[in-house]
Structure 1
Amino acid sequence: MADSLIHTATAADVEQCLTVLTLAFCSDPISRWAWPDPRQYLKAFPRFAQVFGGRAIKHGTANYFKDFSGVALWLPPGVAPDGASLKEVIQDTVDAKRKDAMSSLFEQMDVFYPREAHWHLSLIGVDPAHHRKGIGSALLSHVLNTLDDQMVFAYLEASSSQNVPLYERHGFDALGNIQVADCPPIVPMLRKPRVC
């Protein structure tokens, strides 16, 4: 797909980006484990997405596919999710019996977080009405091609095992498996730059 269909999100696009991601993650195993009640999920997930990946918009590294059918929030090297706000969101919104497990999950994620310079794909999602159109692949390729040119690593956490093959097709390798209590597994993945 043409890069001309992919645009950089600005502060004016925050609500639209969060709405698309909320739709995209509505059946995500981890998200629905954390927020099993639909009303709870619809209220909490946008707040979570804002603190986990929202800094991408500030840094000009958030992309959306035309008409906001898909969104990717990339955190550039040296930029991380807002840790203090993330803890607050977990405490304020996550199901009471899962708060400790959710906190432990993020602690384990830190173990796999790369020490070398990398871009972190904090969140990527496609509106379910637009699945199977290559939008996720287009959003990935848009940034990965640039990272290859710059010889920079990319990192992500796959919150659904169904997405792992997509990421593998784009050159990501699984680093392990993260699972706490009855939480579905998360697969941290790293992509080394491809040399042409």
Structure 2
Amino acid sequence: MTDKHINDENFAIELANTIKIVHGQETDLIKDSQSFISWMLNKNLIKDTDKITSSELDSLFAKIIDSRKIIRNVLKQISEISYVEPKVLDDINSILKNIHIHIQINNLNGKLVKSFNTDSDFCSKILLLIYDSLIDLLVNYELERIKQCASSSCTLFFIDTSKNKKKKWCSMQTCGNREKAARHFNRKKLDTK
């Protein structure tokens, strides 16, 4: 299984990665409700957009944008210090209490675990999928495997599935090769001086 495949199955990482660098500019892939619907369809979060009312979509879109910011901050913290601060767990649990589907993440004897209490509406179901993915990430993976791409021109997060936990780039084909080529070019440039 490749990292891309794992990331594609984790809605939290996928949501965080809807902000990316394209042609040197930070780009928001879900900048409006229409692009958000397309993203949800692409990720199989929804099957029929006709069942989503305009007010549900507006409410969900606002919550998703807020959630993305929170998730990016959590992933950034984990990628930098491989630790989830207790306040972050409290913040996540506080959000989960307000989505009508209660998921909790707790520290039981040093192990992060999740629990459910469901009561659902459309908005809550989507938020549940996103936050459930985040909790799965925190509970089921070693935190040092959650990384942000080391490329200076990339902001993507990924799960490092390498044996030695030393993977630096979200994709060797793009970011890894680009960084290696830049280093090679700089070495050659210095050698010719």
Structure (1 or 2) with the larger CA radius of gyration: 2
Fold in common (TM above 0.5):
no
> TM-score with structure 2 length normalisation?
0.36
> TM-score with structure 1 length normalisation?
0.35
